[in-house]
Amino acid sequence: MRKNKNKRQPAKRKAASQTQNSKRPCSDSPKRTENPQLTPFEIFFKEIEKFSKLHMKDRDRVQEILQSMQKAGSKTLQVISDFDMTLTRFEYNGKRCPTCHNILERSDAISSDCKKKLQELLDKYYPIEIDSTLSVEEKLPLMVEWWTKAHELLVNQKIKKAGLAKAVKDSEAKLRDGYQYFFDHLNEHSIPLLIFSAGIGDILEEVIRQTEVFHPNVKVISNYMDFDESGVLKAFKGELIHIYNKKEGALLNTGHFQELRTRTNVLLLGDSLGDLNMADGVQDMENILKIGFLNDKVEERKQSYLDSYDIVLIKDETLDVPNAVIRFLTE
């Protein structure tokens, strides 16, 4: 396996699971139609409203935010995004796609007994994570318990660093359709992309490296593995990052946000209510547009997402709407 040596150079070979369709800016977005009686913004907004999976509680507020962000210019923009089930697909052909943890859990690096125990943890804690009747305060200790137990099981497997690339390559992980335009366009316009994940950073980086979109503008905050001198997993580094403590994680990384102090406009992408706090470390923020992917338990959670996110995308496996937004903001 070619060593990365911390250089963000794309791999020479793409993951087999990615399709060429992802190279298109938007997989099925409406074509831009000119109307001399409409302003460019009015044309753009009419276009995004054509997406059948897009929902907004306050259309006027979204318009106001977008107009203000465009007026400020792309040099004031930064993008902050979750990874699992936000930049990656939730399902493909009716089958759930793996998260970063799932990629490792389903690989040859894990024993059958460990896989069984990890599945039992998933069956127990995932319904709690998405239960709209429970408060964050009620979920918090249970999420810590879940992640801690899962990491302990993984450490006991003596996973080898050299096997991570193969685990990703052999997996069914898929970035959302339109991913290449999303990553490439942000990089071409020097717009910082912060990926904030409760997953496994080493696996996350390998996914975007194998799809050739790990550009210099990308920074990842996640749970990273700590390997011994022989390349065997011995622990996880630093404080545990889980779905409901991203606010604390953001505040601990104030150095990153200090470097971006002129980037006062934020496009935030997430798939859970816990993701809403990812931008709490941004200094002197002027505008934030929050786009939420609602992938599962739609009827039970739709209202809470509409109350929390500016734009909600229901069962949308593409990055078409975020791509339309960043294209508009960089024109």
Kindly list the catalytic residues. 82, 84
Q: Do residues 47 and 331 make contact, with C-beta atoms less than 8 angstroms apart?
A: no
Q: Do residues 326 and 267 make contact, with C-beta atoms less than 8 angstroms apart?
A: yes
User: How crowded is the C-beta side of 190, counted as CA atoms within 13 Å?
Assistant: 5
211-250 b/e (C-beta count within 10 Å ≥ 16 → b)? bbbbbebbbbbbbbbebeeeeebeebeeeebbbbbbeebb
Burial of 95 (C-beta count, 10 Å sphere; 0-12/13-18/19+): exposed
Closest alpha carbon to 99 in 118, 80, 117: 118
- Which residues are registered as beta bridge partners of 294? 314
- How far does Cα 17 stand from its chain's mean position? 18
| Backbone φ and ψ of 330, nearest 5° | -110, 0
Whole-angstrom distance, CA of residue 196 vs CA of residue 199 = 9
Distance between start and end Cα atoms, the chain: 40
Tell me which DSSP letter residue 17 carries.
T
**What is the total residue count of the chain?**
331
Other C-beta atoms lying within 10 Å of the C-beta of residue 330: 16
Q: Do residues 126 and 198 make contact, with C-beta atoms less than 8 angstroms apart?
A: no
Whole-angstrom distance, CA of residue 263 vs CA of residue 280 = 14
- Which residues are registered as beta bridge partners of 288? 266
Q: Do residues 142 and 128 make contact, with C-beta atoms less than 8 angstroms apart?
A: yes
Cβ neighbors of 52 (< 8 A, separation 6 or more) are: none
Instruction: Give, for 227, the enclosing helix (H) or strand (E).
Output: strand 225-227
